[in-house]
Chains A and B, each alone.
Chain A
Amino acid sequence: MAWLGLYNYWIVIFLMMAGFYVVIVRGNVVKKIVGLNLFQTAVFILYISMSKVQGGTAPIVEPEFVVYSNPLPHVLILTAIVVAVATTALALALTVRIKESYGTVEEDEIHRLDKSF
């Protein structure tokens, strides 16, 4: 059952690759942003999985507890979640501007209008 200890990481990789696939294959810009968010959330789960200590509790110090989970990844991911939302908001604002200028948010139609491909 030793492989079960790696299950978290494997699901994280699956989610990451699902997000990556959406970013590569799908042409809709909103869908691409959702894919990027899938990828980001997978990274969050990777960090938090590593911070867990068997038999530990949340890192709020009380005299009756001895074992705590690692607080450092929690701090990093708190910052990362907020930054992720900020970048998502910026990406969505760009999407709205693209819609206003081109009348579409599909990548191939935008390329056709631009004659870039």
Chain B
Amino acid sequence: MEHLIVIVLLSFLAITAVAVVMLHDLFAVVMLFGIYSLLTAAIFLVLDAVDVAFTEAAVGAGISTVLMLATLALTARKEKTSLRFAPIPLLVVTITGAALVYGTLDMPRYGDPTAAIHQHVAPDYLQRGPRETGIPNVVTSVLASYRGYDTLGEVTVIFTAGVGVMMLLGSSRRGTKRTRGKR
């Protein structure tokens, strides 16, 4: 039953992705991408990943959409190129996809408790996590305690990206006139 819900949501996701690929109105594309992110969050919720679900709903569907809309306001709303049939990219994509599908054939089936991924450190974290850190949510205890350095690295990446955005947009506002004068 649970898997049925996942299958239906995944099918919706595929349809939304096709619409995103086909459309030319970028405003519609960004809005559909927001729906796509929200559907992804719903799938994560059904798949027991509650922390990931609300991060995706807030960050993926919220912040990403706002950032893209702001960019559209500063650039162009419509895509200029007409949809031309491109056989070579389609062939490349199909071959890559077929190779990947072949690769999935011997992967563990959905929800298989004997899969290799569930045998190594995960049971250890589930047993020791709440006892050692005092937090019942194992995702939080791994994120903030056992793998705290990874999270520090993540913060470094966000900081670097933030500095990059500020340098790109901040200096351009001051230097716009000078650059235009040169051209």
Contacts and interface: CB of A to CB of B under 8 A. Distances in A.
Interface of A: 2, 4-11, 13-22, 24-28, 30-31, 33-35, 37-38, 41, 44-45, 48-62, 67-75, 77-79, 81-90, 92-97, 99-101, 104-106, 108-109
A24 B86 CA distance: 10
Given A61-B129, A82-B158, A92-B67, A69 B137 contact: no
A93 to B, nearest CB: 4
Interface size class of B (residues with CB under 8 A): 35 or more
Interface in B153-179: 154, 157-158, 160-162, 164-165, 168-169, 172, 176, 179
Nearest to B170: A93
B5 interface: no
A73 B130 CA distance: 18
Interface of B: 3, 6-7, 10-11, 13-14, 17-18, 20-21, 26, 29-30, 33, 36-37, 40, 43-44, 47-52, 55-56, 59-60, 63-64, 67-68, 70-72, 74-76, 79-81, 86, 89-90, 92-94, 96-97, 100-101, 104-105, 107-113, 115, 117-118, 121-122, 125-126, 129-130, 136-139, 142-143, 147, 150-151, 154, 157-158, 160-162, 164-165, 168-169, 172, 176, 179
B136 to A, nearest CB: 5
Contacts of B14: 11, 14-15
A18 B122 contact: no
16 contacts: A24-B86, A24-B93, A27-B79, A27-B81, A28-B81, A38-B36, A54-B110, A54-B111, A72-B122, A74-B139, A86-B157, A88-B68, A89-B162, A100-B179, A105-B76, A108-B81
B93 to A, nearest CB: 5
A31 to B, nearest CB: 6
Contacts, number: 272
Given A6-B104, A58-B49, A72-B125, A18 B139 contact: no
Nearest to B147: A75
A57 B70 CA distance: 39
Given A21-B93, A51-B117, A95-B75, A13 B104 contact: yes
Contact of A69 (B18, B49, B64, B168): B49
A85 B138 contact: no
B55 A81 contact: yes
Given A71-B122, A85-B59, A90 B161 contact: yes
A48 B122 CA distance: 14
Nearest to B143: A75
